[in-house]
Amino acid sequence: MTYSSKTRSALIALVTVLGVLALGLRPAQAQTYIFSVPTTKLQVYVQDDGSAHLIYDITFQNSDYGSALDVFDIGMPNENYRVSRVEASLEGVSASSIYQSPYVSPGVAIEVSNPIRAGASGTLHIEVDVEELVYQDVTRQGYASLQITPTWFDSSLVTQGGDLDIAIYMLPGISPDEMLQQQVGFTDKVLFGERAVAIFHKSNWGATSAYTVGVSFPDRGINNLVRQNVLDLTNLWLEQNPGVVLFVGAAAFALMALAFFRFSGGTGIVVFIALAGASGCGVFMIPALVLLLLPVSIAAVIFVEISLARRKKQYLPPIAQVEGGGIKRGLTAPEAAVLLEEPLGKIVTLVIFGLLRKGVLTQAPDAKLRVKITPGFEGLKKARLETAQAKGIVLHDYEHAFLTALQAGAGEGQGVFVESVDFSQATKELVNGAVARMAGFDLSDTQAYYRGIIKRALTEAAAVGDLKIREKQVDTDLEWILLDKNYPTVFNRPGWTYQPMWVRPWFTGGSTASTSGGGINLGGARPSSGGGGVNFGDVASGFAGWAENTMGGLANTILPGSLSVPTGGGGFTDLSGFDKVTGDVFEAMAKAASESSKSGGGGGRSGGGGRSCACACAGCACACACAGGGR
């Protein structure tokens, strides 16, 4: 077959283009470094200025299928060296280029002109001076310390390690016997010329992980020790043990959160995040701070809890009193208790006992206080007042709120356990009412007046010898007696068990709680019979103990923070304003971003890669080299 000249030219052009395309599409062969490290030798010469002269002799055995080894990354103990003064050679041929390694930090990259070919071996020789390698030994007076970690290599590049030999040469004048080992024991101690030498040998070293050795020796002749204290050592140890930092930091964070939110009453999330972030940054930069953060957090929790416990009685809002305005008389026992800032559980108990004494409530036979609303006192306030007027009973305004709370929680015909009722709103009305009644009067004089009433009620009841008269006296002043901290002395009298009037069979103020004529036994001398009453003897010793338990249980019927001043759980300050401001800012930013996305958008990318390593040493000094490797 013959072709015209034009056809021949077109075919030649087509073949040429296809050849160029084929060449361009041919994938470039990537370099793959796979080698072993049969021997690693490191000599360290201590110098009088606190630096050390390092000499490496590392033998590499290239694999039969690996790329030629032409660049080596070698880690350095620290950043105190000069790249321009690093000397390196491979099999006696000086390196063609030495520069900072892009993969190992701190470290150098060494390029050679006579690479180690596949299947061949060669020894890389390196010499460098590194400053600030000799540290003060804080464990022994007059001693210095040096630790060193030979460079190691990426495990993905190394097929097999080999022998590791390290020799650390002392300054002249130090004997071998004066050298002390640290974590790793000496293989040998010898005298070489004028220098004592600490020798370490490790067989079958993998060359892919850190192996740190150290030696302590007299600091004679060294004029530039790196000084350090216990805090420095702690910091170094924590840097090497991040798990400890994480555990202690998490514990400190939890305690700090507990203290903060107890202090702020659960507000100030934004402020807490800022404080936690600042603390985290501080610990990241100085790990030893975590050991300070933990006791501070513990102390903060203790302080806040003690302070909140002391504030449990501080629920009074500001009172518009007038000094010298006189005494406000005519307050009930619960109202007086409010002004005296008695525990809220005790105040609620006084209100319930008062309603029981009037017959507005009836006590049901249970170990814990369970009450029923007496028929006629259910429903709205107007109906209650009509019933009370018909029975000659006085109902105070605050008592209606307590009856409403009891009515809301009562089961049908079963009554309600008082401890299960939320009296927060009712107690708030009681407190606010007492405060309002004090307007224009002198608070301190009024408090002193009612303290006198309480003391007199207790004294008079305790002085009565006749049991019947004493019982009548206690019935009359029961709520006032219970306000004295020594009230148990009135009830715990030999040969006498007090039964409150509302549980006695003859009580006519309301329906009786007795089921078989025996009443409700509150403990002490009269055990309950098989079919009647409830024995409270297992709960407390007589009426005094039962009342004490009742007061403690009713303390939980008021939610923390429900009053104008926190009751022990509301914190010291309200930081919710910070949360709101931050929320508004984020909302505005989100709105702006949403509007911006409607008008258009853009894109981009950024990225990076590489390897890095961090030196980590324990003990009296830190001097280590990080991972490196051929590329």
pLDDT in tens, 48-76: 999 999 999 999 999 998 889 999 999 99
For 197-206, 280-289, 377-386, 523-532, which range has the lowest pLDDT when averaged over its residues? 523-532
pTM given for the model: 0.44
Q: Could you tell me if residue 578 is inside a domain? A: no
Give the sheet arrangement for strand 135-136, strand by strand: 135-136, 143-148, 213-218, 180-181
For residue 45, the domain's CATH number is 2.60.40.1730
Residue 457 domain-assigned? yes
Helix (H, G, I), strand (E, B) or coil at 114: strand
283 and 379 share a domain? no
Q: Considering only CA atoms, which of 468, 501, 469, 474 is closest in space to residue 489?
A: 474
Structural tokens at position 607 = 């990225």
* pLDDT of the residue at 94: 95
- Are residue 222 and residue 358 in the same domain, yes or no? no
Same-domain check for residues 45 and 71: yes
Rounded CA separation 14/7 (Å): 11
Compute the mean pLDDT over every residue in the chain, rounded to the nearest whole number. 77
Together in a domain, 202 and 239: no
146, containing H or E segment: strand 143-148
Last residue of a domain, one of 227, 260, 284: 227
Q: Are residues 194 and 255 in the same domain?
A: no
Query: Of 196, 227, 258, at which residue does a domain stop?
Result: 227
Res. 351: pLDDT tops 70: yes
Contact 510/359 with Cβ under 8 angstroms?
Answer: yes
Overall domain count for the chain: 3
Assess whether pLDDT exceeds 90 at residue 88. Answer: yes
pLDDT of res. 612: 32
pLDDT of residue 546: 80
Task: Name the token pair of 102.
Answer: 């892009």
One domain for residues 236 and 223: no
Give the pairing type, strands 370-373 and 361-364.
antiparallel
Domain residues for 429? 333-517+545-557
The answer to the question of residue 325 being in a domain is no
In a domain, 297, yes or no: yes
Q: What is the pLDDT of residue 560?
A: 56
Stretch (H or E) spanning 125: strand 121-130
Q: Which amino acid is at 333?
A: A
**Statement: residue 498 has pLDDT above 60:** yes
pLDDT computed for residue 79 by the predictor: 92
CA nearest to 214, candidates 157, 149, 264: 149
Tokens describing residue 473: 């006296």
Q: Quick one: pLDDT band at residue 417, thresholds 50, 70, 90?
A: confident
The CB density around residue 310, as the number of other CB atoms within 10 Å, is 10
HSE at residue 631, side-chain half, CA atoms within 13 A, is 16
Q: Which of 328-337, 426-435, 614-623 has the lowest mean pLDDT?
A: 614-623
**Which tokens in the block code for residue 437?**
């009644």
Among 100-104, 326-330, 541-545, the minimum mean pLDDT is found in: 541-545
Whether residues 207 and 62 share a domain: the answer is yes
Mean pLDDT across the stretch 283-295?
Answer: 73
Confidence band of 600 (pLDDT split at 50, 70, 90): very low
Record the tokens describing residue 558, joined without a space. Answer: 């008021």
Q: Per mean pLDDT, which range of 175-189, 364-378, 439-453, 614-628 is the poorest?
A: 614-628
For residue 276, is it within any domain?
Answer: yes
Domain boundary among 267, 295, 310: 310
How far is 58 from 73, CA to CA, in rounded Å? 12
Question: Which position has the token pair 């007046």?
Answer: 449
Strand order of the β-sheet with 87-90 is 93-94, 87-90, 121-130, 52-62, 35-46, 162-169, 195-205, 188-192
pLDDT at residue 507 above 70?
Answer: no
Q: How many CB atoms lie within 10 A of CB 429?
A: 18
Provide the pLDDT confidence category of residue 597 given band limits of 50, 70 and 90: low
- Residues 267 and 192 reside in one and the same domain: no
- For 137, the enclosing helix (H) or strand (E) is none
Cα-based distances in Å from 354 to 318, 348, 362: 27, 10, 11
Q: What share of the chain is helix, strand, coil (3-state, %, to 5)?
A: 40, 20, 40
In angstroms, rounded to a whole number, what is the distance separating the alpha carbons of residues 266 and 188?
63
Instruction: Give the per-residue pLDDT at 562.
Output: 60
Residues 353 and 481 in one domain: yes
Q: What is the pLDDT of residue 1?
A: 43
Are 398 and 430 in contact by the 8 Å Cβ rule? The answer is: yes
Residue 10 pLDDT: 39
Say if residues 266 and 308 touch (Cβ distance below 8 Å).
Answer: no
Same-domain status, 199 and 72: yes
pLDDT of residue 148: 93
The half-sphere exposure of 221 on its side-chain side, counting CA atoms within 13 A, is 12
Same domain, 162 and 249: no
Whether 185 is in a domain gets the answer: yes
Q: What is the pLDDT of residue 577?
A: 61
Do the domain assignments include residue 378?
yes
Instruction: Count CB neighbours of 326 within 10 A.
Output: 12
Is 528 a member of any domain? no
Q: 242 CB contacts (<8 Å, ≥6 apart)?
A: none
Residue 543, pLDDT above cutoff 50: yes
Give the best-scoring range by mean pLDDT among 16-20, 442-446, 615-619.
Answer: 442-446
Within this chain, do residues 354 and 413 fall inside the same structural domain, yes or no? yes
**Cβ of 193: how many Cβ atoms within 10 Å?**
8
Q: What burial class does residue 507 get, using C-beta atoms within 10 Å of its C-beta: 0-12 exposed, 13-18 middle, 19+ buried?
A: buried
